[in-house]
């Protein structure tokens, strides 16, 4: 079944395009290209790139515990570098939930 199209753009399935991008990156098993995301949301690739860069900047400006980076030709969510000690402590002290390799990086 195809998603409904509104004014030539596929309905997002999320409150905003930024929120949709974050949600998809959170569950992705590998980095996603802006082209992949553009195809998924039915939005031009340049618009996706602007949002990815904006999200990255916003995370850094608010000292978020997560970061979004372009790696290996695609974009991915990571834990922020300055939270390494907290993540390592959590893992070392016996977490109750398995972390993905991306989470550990």
Q: Is the pLDDT of residue 4 over 60?
A: no
pLDDT digits (tens, 9 = 90+) for 59-73: 999 999 999 999 888
Rounded distance between C-alpha atoms, residue 56 and residue 72, angstroms:
16
H-run or E-run covering 6? strand 5-6
What's the mean per-residue pLDDT of the chain?
A: 83
pLDDT digits (tens, 9 = 90+) for 74-85: 999 999 989 989
Per-residue confidence (pLDDT) for residue 88, from 0 to 100: 87
DSSP 25-79: HHH-SS-B-HHHHHHHHT--HHHHHHHHHHHHHHHHHTT-SEEEEEETTEEEEEE
């Amino acid at each position: 079944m195809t998603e409904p199209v509104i004014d030539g753009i596929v309905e997002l399935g999320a409150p905003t395009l930024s929120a949709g991008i974050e949600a998809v990156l959170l569950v992705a098993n590998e980095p996603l290209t802006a082209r992949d995301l553009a195809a998924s949301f039915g939005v031009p690739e340049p618009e996706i790139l602007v949002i990815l860069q904006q999200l990255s900047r916003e995370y850094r400006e608010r000292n978020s515990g997560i970061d979004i980076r372009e790696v290996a030709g695609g974009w991915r969510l990571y834990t922020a570098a300055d939270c390494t000690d907290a993540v390592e402590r959590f893992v070392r002290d016996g977490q109750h939930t398995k972390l993905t390799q991306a989470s550990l990086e």
